Chains A and B, each alone.
Chain A
Amino acid sequence: MASENIFEYAPAPESRSVVDIRGSYGLFVDGEFTDGHGEPFKTINPADETVLADVACADEADVDRAVKAARRAFDEVWGPMPGRERAKYLYRIARIVQERSRELAVLESIDNGKPIRESRDVDLPLVAAHFFYYAGWADKLRHAGFGDDPKPLGVAGQVIPWNFPLLMLAWKIAPALACGNTVVLKPAETTPLTALLFADICRQAELPPGVVNIVTGAGETGRALVAHDGIDKVAFTGSTEVGRQIARVVAGTRKKLTLELGGKAANIVFDDAALDQAVEGIVNGIFFNQGHVCCAGSRLLVQESVAGELLERLKARMATLRIGDPLDKNTDVGAINSAAQLAKIRELSDAGEREGAARWSPPCELPAQGFWFAPTVFTDVAQSHRIAREEIFGPVLSVLTFRTPEEAVTKANNTPYGLSAGIWTEKGSQILWTAQRLRAGVVWANTFNKFDPASPFGGYKESGFGREGGRHGLEGYLSA
Chain B
Amino acid sequence: MPDKTGSERLAVRKTYKLFIGGAFPRSESGRSYVVTDAKDRFVANASRASRKDARDAVSAARKAFPGWSGRTAYNRGQILYRVAEMLEGRRDQFVAELRQTGLSKSQAAAEADAAVDRWVWYAGWADKITAVAGSANPVSGPFFNFSTPEPTGVVAVVAPDSPLLGLVSVVAPVIVSGNTAVVVASEPAPLPAITLAEVLATSDLPGGVVNVLTGHRAELAPWLADHMDVNAVDLTGAAPGDVPDLEERAAGNLKRVLRPDGAAWTAEPGTARLTAFLETKTVWHPVGV
Binding site for B on A (CB under 8 A): 129, 145, 240, 243-244, 247-248, 250-252, 259, 261, 416, 431, 435, 438-447, 450, 452, 454-458, 460-462, 464-465, 467, 470-472, 480
Contacts and interface: CB of A to CB of B under 8 A. Distances in A.
Interface stretch (B81-89, B141-149, B213-221): B141-149
A260 to B, nearest CB: 11
A445 B253 CA distance: 28
Interface centre among B138, B145, B243, B254 (most CB of A within 10 A): B254
B231 interface: yes
B283 interface: yes
Given A251-B244, A450-B143, A460 B279 contact: yes
19 contacts: A247-B247, A251-B247, A251-B250, A251-B251, A252-B248, A261-B254, A435-B281, A435-B283, A441-B280, A452-B140, A452-B145, A455-B145, A456-B280, A456-B282, A457-B282, A461-B253, A470-B147, A472-B280, A480-B272
B252 A129 contact: no
B285 A455 contact: no
Contacts of A455: 137, 139, 145, 147, 282, 284
Interface in B234-266: 243-245, 247-248, 250-254, 256
Contacts of B245: 251-252
Contacts of B145: 452, 454-455
Contacts of B140: 129, 452, 454
B254 A472 contact: no
Interface residues of B, number: 34
Given A252-B244, A461-B254, A446 B285 contact: yes
A464 to B, nearest CB: 6
B137 A454 contact: yes
Contact of A248 (B139, B248, B253): B248
A452 B135 CA distance: 14
Nearest to A452: B139
A458 B279 CA distance: 9
Contact of A454 (B138, B256, B286): B138
A447 B143 contact: yes
A440 B251 contact: no
Contacts of A464: 254
B132 interface: yes
B245 to A, nearest CB: 8
Contacts of B251: 244, 247-248, 251
A252 B247 contact: yes
Contacts of B132: 145
Contacts of A458: 280
B260 to A, nearest CB: 12
A472 B253 CA distance: 23
